[in-house]
């Protein structure tokens, strides 16, 4: 899906689309022709969020569409329309919102949600149209919206979704490397790839250890773009392309979605694409440690002690806690440059999902200003995150008798927090760092967010970076 398929500048023959909140429905309907009022009454239209009333003409034709915004001006109300409306072109003729604060931004949200909801992943499924066997409805670009900004956000999310949705055999570390190179080439970025035994030679021992059992060599993908004199923004994404759990093998039910274990990498790569497309005045670096956590005779083992790029030794308490290992080497490298802002994204723990569910990424940072800015960006973009504490007393849960730290420990408690505390061991003092433990997947379809891979926290992060450096 590309944005131009569902958003158009051609308003010829476009049908009117009215977006109305439920508290304002009666007031708005009173301004409409009697026939439309009667139709809305007879169909019991309440303007619930996402509800649609198709207005008929006297001759049976289509006169227009009313879309409900609900009680609180739900920005996702437009998210199903590209697929659910008759495949015509529509123009946003009125926005009657309940909130003076939200309503002015709803035209932009209409365009964004319309495009995000039009997404289909069709790589492996033959279809006869843009939406299965049915073409999509199109929306005329609403007046005054920033088209380029919406395009950037949609294409970033589409890239992330496509990467996460791709079958694991087609999204091994080498394929993820190809994706990074393609994005880098599009924006004249420099991309370096350190593969296999070269990881040991260049001191990335944990990336190598996690990925050495796979038939596809592990690698560190390193993209650099922008003026070196600009503020340094570094993105790190977990790129475990498939996670069997290693020798601590996952059960089949837990392995079914492990193609999405590179969701952190996909999220930061989409974000990087948006940053470069916006030509933000930053020196951008993207580090993606890419590996398959496979099982073979040379797989790393529980109770092994691994060296790290930082020099810390790590006892392996569980081979299924591999994401934090590859991130640790990448974060050490990232800190060596002392970036102004360091962000990592990872599908790291089931504990974060137990605490917050699939739709709410856990955020960890000791930087209070960064935390406040991120929460504001989250609210502004309807891209929710929730802060969890880097609770220092829990660090003892990772103590090891034979090494500097254990990667998992033996406590059943606070798994998301201890994982974040493990990562913190590799962050240098005075670096503004934030870690996101996210799910990268929609378990079921919701307006604007079809079932499958998802770019959680991406819009909020883009808003944060734009506000700081735009």
Catalytic residue positions, numbered: 250, 324
Distances (CA, A) of 292 to 109, 173, 191, 436: 38, 7, 21, 21
Helix axes 458-469, 368-381, angle to 10 degrees: 120
Tell me how far apart the alpha carbons of residues 21 and 272 are, in angstroms, rounded to a whole number.
36
Tell me how far apart the alpha carbons of residues 370 and 78 are, in angstroms, rounded to a whole number.
31
Structure tokens at 397: 């849960």
For 451-470, give one letter per residue: b (16+ CB within 10 A) or e: ebbbbbbbbbbbbbbbebbe
Residue-by-residue DSSP string for 65-95: EEEE-TTTT-GGGGTTHHHHS-SSEEEEEEE
Q: Comparing C-alpha atoms, which of 86, 45, 88, 87 is closest to residue 67?
A: 45
Say how many C-beta atoms besides its own lie within 10 A of residue 39's C-beta.
19
Tell me how far apart the alpha carbons of residues 408 and 319 are, in angstroms, rounded to a whole number.
9
Q: Comparing C-alpha atoms, which of 274, 469, 468, 268 is closest to residue 372?
A: 468
Say how many C-beta atoms besides its own lie within 10 A of residue 167's C-beta.
10
């Amino acid at each position: 899906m590309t944005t131009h398929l569902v958003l158009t500048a051609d308003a010829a023959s476009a049908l009117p689309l009215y977006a109305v909140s439920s508290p304002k429905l009666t007031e708005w309907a009173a301004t409409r022709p009697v026939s439309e009022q009667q139709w809305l009454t007879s169909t019991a239209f309440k303007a619930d969020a996402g509800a649609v009333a198709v207005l008929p003409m006297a001759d049976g034709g289509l006169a227009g569409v009313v879309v409900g915004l609900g009680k609180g001006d739900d920005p996702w109300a437009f998210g199903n329309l590209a697929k659910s409306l008759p495949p015509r072109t529509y123009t946003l003729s009125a926005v009657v919102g309940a909130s003076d604060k939200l309503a002015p931004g709803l035209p932009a949200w209409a365009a964004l949600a319309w495009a995000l909801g039009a997404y289909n992943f069709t790589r492996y499924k033959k279809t006869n149209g843009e939406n299965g066997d049915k073409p999509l409805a199109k929306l005329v670009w609403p007046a005054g919206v920033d088209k380029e900004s919406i395009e950037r956000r949609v294409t970033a999310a589409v890239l992330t979704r496509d990467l996460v949705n791709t079958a694991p055999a087609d999204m091994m570390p080498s394929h993820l490397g190809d994706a990074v190179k393609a994005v880098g080439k599009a924006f004249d970025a420099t991309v370096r790839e350190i593969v296999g035994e070269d990881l040991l030679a260049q001191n990335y021992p944990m990336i190598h250890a996690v990925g050495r059992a796979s038939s596809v060599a592990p690698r560190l993908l390193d993209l650099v773009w922008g003026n070196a004199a600009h503020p340094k923004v570094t993105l790190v994404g977990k790129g475990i392309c498939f996670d069997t759990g290693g020798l601590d093998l996952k059960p089949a039910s837990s392995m079914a979605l492990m193609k999405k274990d590179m969701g952190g990498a996909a999220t930061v790569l989409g974000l990087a694409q948006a940053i470069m497309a916006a030509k933000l005045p930053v020196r951008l670096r993207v580090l993606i440690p890419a590996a398959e956590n496979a099982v073979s005779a040379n797989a790393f083992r529980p109770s092994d002690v691994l060296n790290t790029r930082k020099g810390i030794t790590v006892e392996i308490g569980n081979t299924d806690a591999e994401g934090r290992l590859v991130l640790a080497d990448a974060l050490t490298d990232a800190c060596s440059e002392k970036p102004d802002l360091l962000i990592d994204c990872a599908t790291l723990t089931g504990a974060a999902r137990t605490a917050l569910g699939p739709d709410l990424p856990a955020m960890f940072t000791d930087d209070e200003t960064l935390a406040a800015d991120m929460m504001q960006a989250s609210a502004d973009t309807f891209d929710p995150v929730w802060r969890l504490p880097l609770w220092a007393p829990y660090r003892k849960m990772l103590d090891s008798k034979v090494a500097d730290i254990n990667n998992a420990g033996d406590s059943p408690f606070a798994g998301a927090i201890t994982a974040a505390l493990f990562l913190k061991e590799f962050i240098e003092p005075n670096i503004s760092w934030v870690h996101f433990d996210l799910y990268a997947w929609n378990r079921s379809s919701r307006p604007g967010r079809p079932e499958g891979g998802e770019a959680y926290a991406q819009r909020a992060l883009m808003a944060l970076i734009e506000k700081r450096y735009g």
